[in-house]
Amino acid sequence: METKQTELIERAKIITEALPYISRYRGKTVVIKYGGNAMNDPSIIKTIMQDVATLKIVGVHPLLVHGGGPEINTLLKRLNISSRFENGLRITDAATMEVVQMALGKLNKNIAAALCTLGVNAVGVSGQDDGLIRVEKYTDGTSTDYGYVGKITDINCGIIRELSDKGYIPVIATVGADRDGRAYNVNADTAAGAIGGAVQAEKLLYLTDVDGVRENENDPASLIPEITVSGLRAMIADGRIRGGMVPKAQSCIQAIECGVNNVLILNGTIPHSILLELFTHSGVGTMVVPDKKNKA
């Protein structure tokens, strides 16, 4: 009996310790980018959905942005369509673009449905809907043709605000459209940064399968708890950040410059990483913050 009572008291302490953080984020928009291996483990998927639902229930306005690399890869392999990457971006021909739309469309509705089973309302939409993610063909100034890869030119927040105001969690699949309605594959990290900036999010969380930004990518002990925008730029320039982490780092910078207060890269495979980050002292992952302004 005494042991059970002690356990209940400890649970109550955890709840009360979270109250100041719940108050801080109540009524604020938090954008969550969901992807990587965090999407592969059913037990982890469950805790992520529980975390997002909890945010909504306590008065935070979560907005979920997702890609679907593993699902796209699986479907491409099943259809015997080869795939390759350049600078962290998938080369997307017409056939691959169709697969991207199929894979992300299915995943989008599954995520929304999973959230609805947890007592909250969620609606899955695509960046093509209502011009949510407007793009043009991406080019990096080299001879590489990335095919149907889109560069974001505009975010239409109308549908996002309407869903959120009516009590829904918007779940956004990162397929964009150009002015002629053609579909383009959009890097999900980049899309999350652009959306976070457009909705002036209080915080943007990147859930991935790494702990955050490391000074040495092969050394887990070199995790950087906090870094400024200029520090992140320096790591990209000298190659300490490379490959698939480059679009993620660049989107962190973009989000900060567009008005997001801070951005976090954290390991989504840690159970309840969202709640640990938002509602505890220690937090997890790497926080990206604006450069300090020089005092006059």
- Residue 254: what pLDDT? 86
- Residue 294: what pLDDT? 45
Question: CA-to-CA distance for 143 and 123, rounded, in angstroms?
Answer: 39
Predicted confidence (pLDDT) per residue in 150-165, tens digit: 999 999 999 999 999 9
Q: Which residue has the higher pLDDT, 178 or 242?
A: 178
DSSP 142: S
Nearest C-alpha neighbor of 62 from the set 292, 277, 284, 280: 277
Q: Examine the pLDDT at 6 and tell me if it is beyond 90.
A: no
Predicted confidence (pLDDT) per residue in 91-134, tens digit: 999 999 999 999 999 999 999 999 999 999 999 999 999 999 99
Percent of the chain scored above 90 by pLDDT? Answer: 56
- Residue 101: what pLDDT? 96
Question: CA-to-CA distance for 196 and 190, rounded, in angstroms?
Answer: 10
- Residue 9: what pLDDT? 67
What does pLDDT average to over the chain? 89
Architecture of the structural domain at 26-289: 3-Layer(aba) Sandwich (3.40)
DSSP string, 156-218: --HHHHHHHHTTEEEEEE-EEE-TT--EEE--HHHHHHHHHHHTT-SEEEEEESS-S-BSSTT
Predicted confidence (pLDDT) per residue in 49-79, tens digit: 999 999 999 999 999 999 988 889 999 999 9
Question: CA-to-CA distance for 155 and 134, rounded, in angstroms?
Answer: 6
Q: Examine the pLDDT at 293 and tell me if it is beyond 90.
A: no
- Residue 122: what pLDDT? 98
Percent of the chain scored above 70 by pLDDT? Answer: 93
175-177 and 183-185 as β-strands: parallel, antiparallel, unpaired? antiparallel
Predicted confidence (pLDDT) per residue in 182-204, tens digit: 999 998 988 999 999 999 999 99
Q: Which residue has the higher pLDDT, 148 or 294?
A: 148
- Residue 212: what pLDDT? 86
Predicted confidence (pLDDT) per residue in 7-50, tens digit: 666 667 777 777 888 889 999 999 999 876 666 778 888 999 99
- Residue 36: what pLDDT? 67
